[in-house]
Structure 1
Amino acid sequence: VNCSGQGHREVPLPLPKNTSILLLSTNHLASVSTASFQHLPELIDLDLSYNGLSALQTGTPMPLLQELILSHNALELLPSLQGLPALTHLALAHNNITQLAPGHFRDVKLLKELNLRGNRLRTLPEEIFEGLAKLQDLDLSDNTLEELPQGLLAGLELETLRLSGNQLRTLPSGFFPEEHMFAYVFLAGNPWRCDCDLAYLQGWISDNEFSV
């Protein structure tokens, strides 16, 4: 069901009960609750991008939801992800998120793609992605990241990592998991500081230049 660009200020009712994909982008939904979708038991994909959304209440479970698009909104805090156990794709690009709390992703263990591009993150807790063993694509580009903890990627089996367009000057030794093969790693657009602290990254790039 495509309800994009219709000027909605609330989730429209009624909608077909068998709706599995709902597009609500480019409306005026300043605040949304998952309770608004309880009449849609088969909902799998939900697009809430370009709404000026400042709050998403997720207290009511959506057990089948796999894709949630919240990009290009006004979120300052990452919504709680409890009640979304089937989520595999989460897009939060171009919001105003400044920090992430440890354990915030522990309830979405099936997550494969996480897009945090274009927020205001300056650093991340070391254990923020703990438990996301299925995560394949992580986009942290175009934030204001100045440093990253050594164990940030521990336990991950990423295929693609995007760190472009931040304020990174170096990466700690051992940052990339040993013997892990990435398909793509994007590092451009950072003010890398060319001194001895960069030796680890230089060596890693030399060994993995096919994917960087």
Structure 2
Amino acid sequence: VNCTGQALSTVPPDLPEGTGILLLNANHLTSLSIAVFLPLTQLQDLDLSDNRLVALHTGPNLPSLKELILSHNALAALPTLQGLPVLTRLAMAHNSLATLAPRAFRAVPRLQDLDLRGNRLRTLPREAFAGLKALKDLDLSDNLLEELPKELLQDLQKLETLWLSGNRLRTLPTDFFPEGHVFMYVFLTENPWHCDCDLRYLRAWIRMN
């Protein structure tokens, strides 16, 4: 169901119960509860991007939802993500996130694609992504990150692509990349890397990979 760009301030009440894909992007939604989608038992993809969302309340179970797009809103905090047991893609790009709590994504362990680019993240707790053993793509580009904890990637056993471009990183801690882990792509451009002894680890890792 395509409701893109309809100047909606609320979710239409008469959506077909069999809706599998719902596009509500480019509207005027400011605050929303996942409960409004409970009648849509087959809903798999939900696009709420490019609205004016400052709050999204989760909790009620949406057992079929696999993709949730929240990019280009005004969210200053990550939703709790409760009630989304099969979520595999979460896009939170270009919001106002300044921090993440430890184990922030524990409610969505099947997540494979996480897009956090273009937020205001400065630091991350070492357990920010703990439990995301299925995650394949992690985009942290275009934030304000100045340093990263050594343990940040330890749980991400299936991670294939990592974006760190466009931050304020000057170095990476020794053993930041898990030993023996093979990445398909790691993007490190547009950071103010400081070429001193602290950068030896990153230089050696790049040569080996």
TM-score w.r.t. the length of structure 2 is: 0.98
Unaligned runs of 5+ in 2: none
**Aligned-partner Cα distance in 1 for 2:178–2:35:** 40
Q: How far has the Cα of 1:59 moved from its partner? A: 2.2
Look up the match of 2:189: 188
| CA-to-aligned-CA distance 1:72-127 (integer Å, 9 cap, x gap) | 00000001111111100000000000000012111111000000000000010101
- 3-state SS of paired residue (1:185): strand
Look up the match of 1:39: 39
Q: How far has the Cα of 1:151 moved from its partner? A: 0.5
- Which residue identity is paired with 1:4? T
Is 2:77 the partner of 1:77?
yes
**Aligned-partner Cα distance in 1 for 2:132–2:38:** 27
Is 2:59 the partner of 1:59?
yes
Look up the match of 2:95: 95
TM-score w.r.t. the length of structure 1 is: 0.97
Q: How far has the Cα of 1:155 moved from its partner? A: 2.2
Taking the TM superposition and a 5 Å limit, the aligned residue runs for 1:160-179 are 160-179=161-180
Q: How far has the Cα of 1:60 moved from its partner? A: 1.4
Q: Which of 31-40 and 89-98 deviates more?
A: 31-40
Look up the match of 1:6: 6
How many residues in Structure 1 have an aligned counterpart in Structure 2?
A: 208
Look up the match of 2:208: 207
- Which residue identity is paired with 1:113? D
Look up the match of 2:137: 137
- 3-state SS of paired residue (1:166): coil
Q: How far has the Cα of 1:64 moved from its partner? A: 1.1
Q: Percent identity?
A: 64
**Aligned-partner Cα distance in 2 for 1:131–1:60:** 22
Look up the match of 2:123: 123
Is 2:154 the partner of 1:154?
yes
| CA-to-aligned-CA distance 1:140-161 (integer Å, 9 cap, x gap) | 0000000000010002121000
Q: Provide runs of 4+ in structure 1 moved above 4 Å.
A: none
- Which residue identity is paired with 2:143? N
- 3-state SS of paired residue (1:68): strand
**Aligned-partner Cα distance in 1 for 2:6–2:133:** 39
Look up the match of 2:30: 30
**Aligned-partner Cα distance in 2 for 1:145–1:94:** 15
- 3-state SS of paired residue (2:162): strand
